[in-house]
Structure 1
Amino acid sequence: MPIIDEHTQQKPLEEAGEHLPLDGVRVLELGTLLAGPFAGRLLADFGAEVIKIEPPDKSDPMRHWGKNQKGTGLWWPIQSRNKKSVTLNLREKAGQEVFKNLAAESDIVVENFRPGTMEKWGLSYEELSKINPRIIMMRTSGFGQTGPYKERAGFGSVGEAMGGLRNVTGFTDRPPSRIGISIGDSLAALFATIGCLTALHERERSGKGQVVDTAIYESVFAVMESIVPDYLLAGYVRERMGNILPGVAPSNIYFTKDETYIVIGANSDGVFRRLCEAMGDPELAEDPEFKTHEARGRNQKVLDVRIEEWTKSLPSHDALEALEKKGVPSGLIYTAKDIVEDPHYQARDMIVNVEHPDFGEFPMPGVVPKLSRTPGQIKQPGALEMGEHNEEIYCNLLEISQNRLEELKRNNVI
């Protein structure tokens, strides 16, 4: 259970007297690494019983990703929190039959294999829906389940490139850059989860499940704002612009006296006036070169120089304090150290300590979003051992005998 300290408002579920929103929803999570497992994590945070399935002879690589301490990748306890771990060999007929029995007792199947893999194993949506018409299959892949590229391998990095994100990330004089996290997979997981919850809601009316088909490149493209009409209607191809958005000013990072950077966003007219007051230069807001949004966009570089002259005269703390007093959106560019020490993160339960068998208190990001009456909960970190819940799931849920369970083990089915 989460460790409750003086900074956290999160209460154990028993104290809160509430049920989690997805209590009673059972999820079978297949696939590895990011997109599928992240979607499973989101569902588990809000109470779904997520059963993480790994082949008995090959663990999810996420168990070893990230900085490795005590033989555990430090990403794994976060990505697989609140989940139960079982092993099952879906390449074997006996394993496929066990999975069908699990699907008969479940609501959602999460998979992120290359399209055609589930069909090859005889576990297509069509087959599973014959067993359980209410089953929802959440399918995430590089390019989706249809179209000429469907059989291509597609990692998040490729989806970011073909979705348009890489082309606008970085500086004009350098090659396209990546964002420092696996944003393509994470976006796909978020859209897949939205689709899954939508399908669950629709099922209340129809009584039927359906396929949620999420492509990584489409998930990236979906957040790419107006790049298509910019091109088709205005003949403009958005390119890399570093830390600015063309025509949106001021919105940039600015160097300070203590040799750090702060972010300032003051591109609307009213906020810009308040920025000028914070800088002690209210007349600047009336200058024709900067008075309107369009004028500031035309004179973006000159304006940024004026603002940075001010920020360089102050330590970051003093500059941010002056900006906050005037209601100007601004902030320090946080490192992990800044995040850990920030009282707002603590007050909002965004770093939660969860008891771990090897690490003791294991810090991890809190649940997002915040629900006022039935908030999500982090009950446990990712299972340390593969198949930790085999007996609970196979013997209790499916009522497989101990003798049969041992036979499945001997035959490398579990």
Structure 2
Amino acid sequence: MTGTTDTTRPAPLAGVKIIEISAFVAAPLGSMTLAQLGADVIRIDPLGGNIDATRWPITEEGTSIYWASLNKGKRSITLDLKSEEGQAIATELIAEAGTLITNLPARGWLSYDNLVAHRPDLVMLRLSGTHDGKPAVDYTVNAASGFPTITGSDEKPVNHALPAWDVIAGMYIANGILAAELERRSSGTGQEINLALADAMLATVGNLGYIAEIQTNGSTRGPLGNGLYGAYGQSFTTSDGREVMVAVISNRHWRSLGTATGLTDKLAMIGDLLDVDLGTEGGRFEAREAIDAVLRPWFAAHTAAESTAALAEAGVLQGEFQTFEELVRDDPQCSSANPLFSEIEQPGIGRVLAPRVPLTFHGSPAAPASPAPSLGENTDAVLAEVLGRTADDLTTLRERGILSD
């Protein structure tokens, strides 16, 4: 039923169990997405945590806000993964779950050939840096993407702060696991899935037309600052020193911009002066500097609040630039007024606002955000529940150094 939510049905991935052995952003984000859709995700880390266990940002006490944010809704266990016994326990867990997400090298006990011998229908997704196995991280991949050369206002490349390729790869990971799960349910067979971070970048560059643009036209755009390529868009400084972004995608938006600012007649004159058709996106792009010049005095004479209110009322696409602090402090969309968010008590950090998965299922709702576990918090419970280890077994494992004290 449209507009209603059936809270009696389980979350979409209820009953799916996934093992994660990974670090950094893409793999943890992909598996967290699946956890937020209802899967039971068990993250296995080495004793003391993986390389990302203390990654910044951190609290004053040293707790990683980063780690907690990327592991919400999972269960955490730690094992001595350097020992054969620890590897054997991890292998048992993988075989029992039947699905593994990892970004560790494909060798030794974590090789697909080894693990599929323990679970013939294993679904295993491995993230690498490049398709031929070379190491890479988001910021090195982005440097090669071409985007830094068109970011900013001059020819100096800008490696932006958003780890876009990690985020995109995380979504590919979630989709890859779901596709293989559906295939296994119909055919009864599992498979190995490989994803390279660099390929996530290259696919996106190709899908957005940048590769074909070079091959067809021989060149691509340069840096435009906050301008919008191929259409009209620009940022403007208001009388109170704020910055407002305007985007014109359609002729209706163009007419609305003239109505909101009272500059319809002056804007129309630009077409005749420059001999361009302002009824097209291309024409407005060609005339962008003249349009900027006409609009800037209007924004300079109005506050950000006045500007955005007038633009919004007229139906213009607009947004005021804000800092993370302003987003969290002042924006009602980033608050519990938005059903995306709920407040959780995160161990080691405190009470924080946290998002659930940004999908609304009216038939099988995803749960609200839940805290990330502390490192190794669920070790005993998982080994007892999943592998049937007794209290005496756990004590023996601790005496051998396979589990942390």
Task: Tell me the secondary structure at the aligned position of residue 370 of structure 2.
Answer: coil
Distance 1:211 1:131 in 2: 14
From 194, 197, 203, the equivalent of 1:216 is: 197
* Identical pairs, percent: 25
Question: Can you list the C-alpha shifts for 1:139-168, whole angstroms capped at 9, x where unaligned?
Answer: 112113xx3xx1x22111111122333233
Q: Is the 8 A contact 1:254 1:263 kept in 2?
A: yes
Q: Is it true that 1:169 corresponds to 2:151 in the alignment?
A: yes
Deviation of residue 240 (structure 1)? 2.7
Question: Can you list the C-alpha shifts for 1:46-74, whole angstroms capped at 9, x where unaligned?
Answer: 11111111101444424442132333122
Q: Is the 8 A contact 1:54 1:60 kept in 2?
A: no
Task: Tell me the secondary structure at the aligned position of residue 343 of structure 1.
Answer: coil
Distance 1:205 1:67 in 2: 44
Which residue of structure 2 lines up, in the alignment, with residue 256 of structure 1? 238
Distance 2:347 2:83 in 1: 33
Which residue of structure 2 lines up, in the alignment, with residue 370 of structure 1? 360
Deviation of residue 370 (structure 1)? 2.3
How well do the aligned residues superpose, as a CA RMSD in angstroms? 2.3
Q: Is the 8 A contact 2:231 2:248 kept in 1?
A: no
Q: Is it true that 1:318 corresponds to 2:306 in the alignment?
A: yes
From 225, 228, 239, the equivalent of 2:222 is: 239
Q: Is the 8 A contact 2:341 2:368 kept in 1?
A: no
Shift in alpha-carbon separation, 1:330–1:410, aligned structure 2, 3 A:
same
Q: TM-score, normalised by structure 2?
A: 0.89
Which residue of structure 2 lines up, in the alignment, with residue 401 of structure 1? 390
Q: Which moved more, 1:285-294 or 1:251-260?
A: 285-294
Distance 1:191 1:240 in 2: 29
Q: Is the 8 A contact 2:63 2:348 kept in 1?
A: no
List gaps (5 residues or longer) in structure 1: 1-10
Which residue of structure 2 lines up, in the alignment, with residue 6 of structure 1? none
Q: Is it true that 1:280 corresponds to 2:262 in the alignment?
A: yes
Distance 1:200 1:69 in 2: 42
Distance 1:67 1:308 in 2: 41
Deviation of residue 101 (structure 1)? 1.1
Which residue of structure 1 lines up, in the alignment, with residue 111 of structure 2? 124
Task: Tell me the secondary structure at the aligned position of residue 239 of structure 2.
Answer: coil
Distance 1:202 1:189 in 2: 20
Deviation of residue 403 (structure 1)? 3.0
Q: Which moved more, 1:313-322 or 1:363-372?
A: 363-372
Distance 2:252 2:31 in 1: 43
Q: Is the 8 A contact 1:252 1:265 kept in 2?
A: yes
Q: Is the 8 A contact 1:324 1:330 kept in 2?
A: yes
Question: Can you list the C-alpha shifts for 1:301-350, whole angstroms capped at 9, x where unaligned?
Answer: 12122222211111011111111111111111132233233233443323
Which residue of structure 2 lines up, in the alignment, with residue 182 of structure 1? 163
From 87, 92, 100, the equivalent of 1:101 is: 92
Letter in 2 for 1:241: L
Q: Is the 8 A contact 1:163 1:218 kept in 2?
A: no
Letter in 2 for 1:362: V
Deviation of residue 284 (structure 1)? 4.2
Distance 1:67 1:119 in 2: 33
Q: Is the 8 A contact 2:49 2:78 kept in 1?
A: no
Q: Which moved more, 1:163-172 or 1:211-220?
A: 163-172
Question: Can you list the C-alpha shifts for 1:177-223, whole angstroms capped at 9, x where unaligned?
Answer: 12223222111111111111111122221111222222111212222
Distance 1:336 1:355 in 2: 21
Task: Tell me the secondary structure at the aligned position of residue 254 of structure 1.
Answer: strand
Which residue of structure 1 lines up, in the alignment, with residue 294 of structure 2? 306
Task: Tell me the secondary structure at the aligned position of residue 75 of structure 1.
Answer: helix
Which residue of structure 2 lines up, in the alignment, with residue 391 of structure 1? 380
Letter in 1 for 2:214: Y
Shift in alpha-carbon separation, 1:355–1:192, aligned structure 2, 3 A:
same
Distance 1:41 1:273 in 2: 44
Q: Is it true that 1:193 corresponds to 2:182 in the alignment?
A: no
Which residue of structure 2 lines up, in the alignment, with residue 344 of structure 1? 333
Distance 1:103 1:366 in 2: 26
Question: Can you list the C-alpha shifts for 1:55-109, whole angstroms capped at 9, x where unaligned?
Answer: 0144442444213233312222221111111012333221221122112211321
